[in-house]
Chains A and B, each alone.
Chain A
Amino acid sequence: MNKVYDYLVIGAGPAGMAAAIEASNAGLCVLVLDQAASAGGQIYRNLGQVGSQQAKVLGSDYLAGKPLLAQFMAANCDYQPMAQLWHIEAHEKGFLVVALVRGESITYLTSHLLLANGAMERPMAIAGWHKPGVMTAGAGQILIKTSALLPKQVVLAGSGPLLLLLAQQYRAAGVTITALLDTTPKSNYWYAIPWLVAGLTTPKQLFKGVWLTLVQRIKTPYITGVSHIEVLGEECVTGVGYTVAGKAYDIACNLIMLHQGLIPETQMGQLLGCTQVWSETQQCWQTQVGVAGQTSVPGLQVAGDAGTIGGAYVAQFEGRLAGITRASSGVVPLSLRKRLITLWLCLRVKQLHWARGLVDRLYRPASWLSAPTPDTIVCRCEQVTAGAITAIARTGCAGVNQLKGFTRAGMGACQGRQCGFNLAYLVANTQQRPMSEVEPLTIRPPLSPINLGQLSRRPEL
């Protein structure tokens, strides 16, 4: 435990890998911790191991990560896979990072820390979403990537590029898509029009997106303007009900995959006390990040989707920028070449995020999603309904943290990951407050489970 790393990177996705490559090339002592068995993060999950059949289904954007992965595996840095990070705290030498590796709690010290732990799906709390047979679209993709598993038949519901990509991949693999229920409100298209200009600065991505959308609309049973989705069934899913233009419909099915975009996983930044801000555009809390990934905490950076949702392409640039910035914070000044590269990276990152504005506005979640019906379970872990939460919110409680104390919502195994947003929406809506004024749930360790025996230092355990 005496070794102090120069740079500890959490997450071996595109941002983390790029940062580790830059920093280790500059001669720093780097460690990358990641929870999966192999590098790639979620977007390039299992990239090093997939066979040709999976590769064909997953497509060229997935395979485009191979050079970066190869560079990372060849880089001169320490890499610990299967590390479940459960605690981070400030330390006199910088930061103390604790992870469970093969059942043992290991403590690492580092002078500088990069959070590149990526994003998760925005929880889409609809009535019945907790029933067996419902999963996220991201889960569908992970099942292809890691397990080469496909559903036989599925209903896809929600909004966003990932949903369309999954539909494409499933069609390529011969999966029956019973229906694609698109919840994108029609008004979003109007709001997005001015942003076409921004989108045009990344023409390849824009045309790919348009093509993907058109293909799904033609080849898949595609239903637009969907609202008020409800999962039907008692013990497990037997169907899905939805509304279009005021009329109710339902479809029989056993499997539904939901998607409403991605949100950054901010727990680590919150635990370390980084300033969080509410983004109206992306409808999520974000760790406040400067242009090179610096946060309000000295020595702590964030890069990739863990900061702002942008996808793999910009994540890689952000990772490079973070790595170069870290390497240059020593005594030796940056060479002119490096300074120009840094400048170019900054501009590119800014431009890509600006271009992303089109996608953000087009796929902004519909407002009905932030007002779940009273019987909808909002906190899955503790089985707390929207009705119970609204009742407490009406008493004028100060916010979601007080609400948590009074309802147990947010106290379960997932520690608010699946309910935090909806708790805040319910408080904001009930108390007529803007989301920017509702503070998120306080984050405490453990960030992932550890048992008392593993935590204890007693030698006999």
Chain B
Amino acid sequence: MLSLNPEHNQSAPYDWIIVGGGLVGASIAYGLIQKQPHLHILVLDGGDTDHRASVGNFGLIWVQGKGYEFPAYANWSLQGADLWPQFARQLSHKSQIDIAYQRQGGLEFALSQQQLNALSEEMAAMAHHTQGDFQYIILDRDAALALQPGLGEAVAGAVYSPQDGQVNPLYLLSALHKANQLHGVEYQSRCTVENVEVVAQGFKVAGFSAKHIVLCAGLDNQRLGKQLDMHLPVSPVKGQILITERATAGTLKYASPQLRQTAEGTIQIGGSHEHTGLDDRSTLEIMQTIADDAVALMPGLAQLQLVRTWGALRVMSPDGAPIYQRSHKYSGAFGVCCHSGVSLAAAHAGPLSSWLLNTLDGDQKILIEAMNNDRFPI
């Protein structure tokens, strides 16, 4: 079903077509229309049961550890997290949807001293890359217990960063779609794109034409990128998570990639990193492993009922950092790949959409362009 903007003459080309209506595509559309409200933008989205990384997102706005080996990414991640509060306020206001954004800080638990030491090194690297802007505390077991009661005996310690946060990723996507629609962005679902054609005025896809095109199609970006002379090397990394019934509010005090309590009270438990191609099914062994780790972390979780499980395919580049690419051959074509659609939503709606509009310069531009595909050998 096409949500049409009656002010747009359907036969004229769009200013922008965004291929992919997930968190990346929706954030970019949001950023573009906020900055230049006169633009005619069309978002093309896939089918109801297509692989959608957005539906499997854990919901963390996570800074710690991201880019500890890649300074540009570390800085971009931190900048993105700092842009989130204003982005959340604005989006909730425009869409009238409560996306349950919180920035109370995050904990990553270590189940051994060795693990804690390794995390400590990563955090030090992060602080170095960001000239100390990234803040963290290494907690021993007692300190971790003081922050999060109920931790199991296996927990050796944790890393705390006040800059981490969480949000409801599904409501975030819903809010972006709604806000976009209210601002005249057009949306076509069940439109899986097979080919992109380069034409005189720009690009043609699925019968629509546009002057600019941004590929935000997740794992499909690699295939579509080739058609626009862009090397976008992404591959699937499966993540399975468990979701429990509602627990008492405040059971989990902080966000964590291992455990997160949603605004509804359910507890999400992550997660695996598997290389199983395009198979996103839940498997017994992984479910058991995740449960084992969860009750080791917090034994009290054992009595919680498992209500559902989920599996999704992360869109992973070779080094785990985003790819922001402009096509050198076809001016106006861009490719955006990342596996942190939630964490980077504010950055994508902010500086990245300015970069796409070519209104960005200086350090910001350099930072984004440091994350292009030059770093990958073909």
Query: Hey, which bits of chain A sit against chain B, CB under 8 A?
Result: 87, 89, 96, 98, 107, 392, 395-402, 405-406, 408, 411-413, 415, 431-433, 438-439, 442, 444-446, 449-453, 455-458, 461
Contacts of A433 in B (CB 8 A): 1
Q: Which of B125-133, B173-181, B209-217 contacts A (4 or more CB under 8 A)?
A: B173-181
Q: In the complex where A397-B189, A398-B190, A452-B294 touch, is A439 in contact with B303 (Cβ < 8 A)?
A: no
Please state if A395 and B181 are interface contacts (CB–CB under 8 Å): yes
Whether, in the assembled complex, B208 has its beta carbon less than 8 Å from a beta carbon of chain A, the answer is no
Please state if A431 and B244 are interface contacts (CB–CB under 8 Å): no
Please state if A445 and B287 are interface contacts (CB–CB under 8 Å): yes
Our pick among B3, B244, B284 for the contact of A87 (Cβ within 8 Å) is B284
Please state if B177 and A395 are interface contacts (CB–CB under 8 Å): yes
Please state if A452 and B3 are interface contacts (CB–CB under 8 Å): no
Within 8 A of A (CB), among B233-249: 242, 244-245
Within 8 A of A (CB), among B299-334: 301-311
Tell me whether chain B's interface is mostly helix, strand or loop, or mixed. mixed
Name the residue in A107, A398, A406, A439 with the highest tally of chain B Cβ atoms < 10 Å from its Cβ. A398
Q: Which of B12-20, B41-49, B61-69, B84-92 contacts A (4 or more CB under 8 A)?
A: B41-49
Whether, in the assembled complex, B366 has its beta carbon less than 8 Å from a beta carbon of chain A, the answer is no
Residue pairs across A and B with Cβ atoms less than 8 A apart, 11 shown, are A396-B3, A397-B48, A399-B190, A400-B48, A405-B174, A406-B170, A452-B244, A452-B291, A453-B295, A457-B292, A461-B302
CA distance A98 to B306 in the complex (A): 14
Please state if A455 and B245 are interface contacts (CB–CB under 8 Å): no
CA distance A182 to B171 in the complex (A): 41
Please state if B294 and A395 are interface contacts (CB–CB under 8 Å): no
Whether, in the assembled complex, B282 has its beta carbon less than 8 Å from a beta carbon of chain A, the answer is yes
Closest 8 CB pairs of A and B: A399-B48, A453-B302, A398-B189, A396-B1, A405-B170, A406-B174, A456-B291, A398-B48
Question: Would you give the 0/1 interface string for B254-289, flagging 1 where the beta carbon is closer than 8 Å to chain A?
Answer: 000000000010000100000000000111100110
Please state if B284 and A395 are interface contacts (CB–CB under 8 Å): no
Name the residue in B171, B296, B302 with the highest tally of chain A Cβ atoms < 10 Å from its Cβ. B302
CA distance A456 to B296 in the complex (A): 10
Residue of A at shortest CB range from B186? A396
CA distance A457 to B281 in the complex (A): 21
Please state if B305 and A457 are interface contacts (CB–CB under 8 Å): no
Within 8 A of A (CB), among B127-185: 170-171, 173-174, 177-178, 181
Query: Please, how many residues of chain B have a CB less than 8 angstroms from a CB on the other chain?
Result: 48
Minimum CB–CB distance for B279 against chain A, Å = 10
CA distance A87 to B304 in the complex (A): 18
Our pick among A401, A411, A455, A461 for the contact of B49 (Cβ within 8 Å) is A401
CA distance A140 to B213 in the complex (A): 59
Question: Would you give the 0/1 interface string for B24-50, flagging 1 where the beta carbon is closer than 8 Å to chain A?
Answer: 000000000000000000000111111
Residue of B at shortest CB range from A97? B284
Minimum CB–CB distance for B268 against chain A, Å = 12
Please state if B242 and A398 are interface contacts (CB–CB under 8 Å): no
Please state if A395 and B187 are interface contacts (CB–CB under 8 Å): yes
Name the residue in A445, A449, A455 with the highest tally of chain B Cβ atoms < 10 Å from its Cβ. A455
Minimum CB–CB distance for B145 against chain A, Å = 20
Contacts of B309 in A (CB 8 A): 444-446
Please state if B301 and A442 are interface contacts (CB–CB under 8 Å): no
Contacts of A413 in B (CB 8 A): 245, 307
Instruction: Other than A446-B306, A451-B302, A452-B302, give 18 A-B pairs with Cβ distance below 8 A.
Output: A96-B284, A107-B284, A392-B174, A396-B3, A397-B48, A398-B45, A398-B189, A401-B48, A401-B49, A406-B177, A431-B1, A444-B311, A445-B309, A449-B305, A449-B306, A451-B304, A452-B306, A457-B288
Q: In the complex where A89-B284, A405-B174 touch, is A452 in contact with B304 (Cβ < 8 A)?
A: yes
Q: In the complex where A395-B181, A453-B295, A458-B295 touch, is A89 in contact with B283 (Cβ < 8 A)?
A: yes
Our pick among B45, B181, B296 for the contact of A458 (Cβ within 8 Å) is B296
Residue of B at shortest CB range from A456? B291
Whether, in the assembled complex, B55 has its beta carbon less than 8 Å from a beta carbon of chain A, the answer is yes
Residue of B at shortest CB range from A87? B284
Minimum CB–CB distance for B314 against chain A, Å = 17
Please state if B302 and A456 are interface contacts (CB–CB under 8 Å): yes
Minimum CB–CB distance for A1 against chain B, Å = 11
CA distance A249 to B45 in the complex (A): 47
Please state if B294 and A442 are interface contacts (CB–CB under 8 Å): no
Within 8 A of A (CB), among B62-104: none
Minimum CB–CB distance for B284 against chain A, Å = 6
Q: In the complex where A412-B307, A446-B306, A451-B303 touch, is A405 in contact with B173 (Cβ < 8 A)?
A: yes
Contacts of B1 in A (CB 8 A): 396, 431-433
Whether, in the assembled complex, B373 has its beta carbon less than 8 Å from a beta carbon of chain A, the answer is no
Whether, in the assembled complex, B2 has its beta carbon less than 8 Å from a beta carbon of chain A, the answer is yes
Minimum CB–CB distance for A315 against chain B, Å = 29
CA distance A402 to B308 in the complex (A): 16
Whether, in the assembled complex, B120 has its beta carbon less than 8 Å from a beta carbon of chain A, the answer is no
Whether, in the assembled complex, B222 has its beta carbon less than 8 Å from a beta carbon of chain A, the answer is no
Please state if A395 and B307 are interface contacts (CB–CB under 8 Å): no
Please state if B46 and A398 are interface contacts (CB–CB under 8 Å): yes
Contacts of B304 in A (CB 8 A): 451-452
Residue of B at shortest CB range from A450? B306
Whether, in the assembled complex, B5 has its beta carbon less than 8 Å from a beta carbon of chain A, the answer is no
Residue of A at shortest CB range from B242? A452
Whether, in the assembled complex, B188 has its beta carbon less than 8 Å from a beta carbon of chain A, the answer is yes
Residue of A at shortest CB range from B4? A396
Contacts of A453 in B (CB 8 A): 295, 302-303
Please state if B49 and A458 are interface contacts (CB–CB under 8 Å): no
Minimum CB–CB distance for A455 against chain B, Å = 4
CA distance A456 to B49 in the complex (A): 30
Contacts of B45 in A (CB 8 A): 398
Our pick among A405, A446, A456 for the contact of B308 (Cβ within 8 Å) is A446
Q: In the complex where A395-B181, A395-B187, A456-B295 touch, is A411 in contact with B308 (Cβ < 8 A)?
A: yes
Contacts of B284 in A (CB 8 A): 87, 89, 96, 98, 107
Minimum CB–CB distance for A205 against chain B, Å = 39
Contacts of A89 in B (CB 8 A): 281-284
Minimum CB–CB distance for B362 against chain A, Å = 38
Contacts of A439 in B (CB 8 A): 47-49
Please state if B308 and A452 are interface contacts (CB–CB under 8 Å): no
Contacts of A412 in B (CB 8 A): 307
Please state if B308 and A406 are interface contacts (CB–CB under 8 Å): no
CA distance A439 to B47 in the complex (A): 9
Contacts of B188 in A (CB 8 A): 396
Contacts of A450 in B (CB 8 A): 305-306
Residue of B at shortest CB range from A273? B281
Please state if A399 and B307 are interface contacts (CB–CB under 8 Å): no
Minimum CB–CB distance for B31 against chain A, Å = 20
Please state if A396 and B189 are interface contacts (CB–CB under 8 Å): yes
Contacts of B190 in A (CB 8 A): 398-399
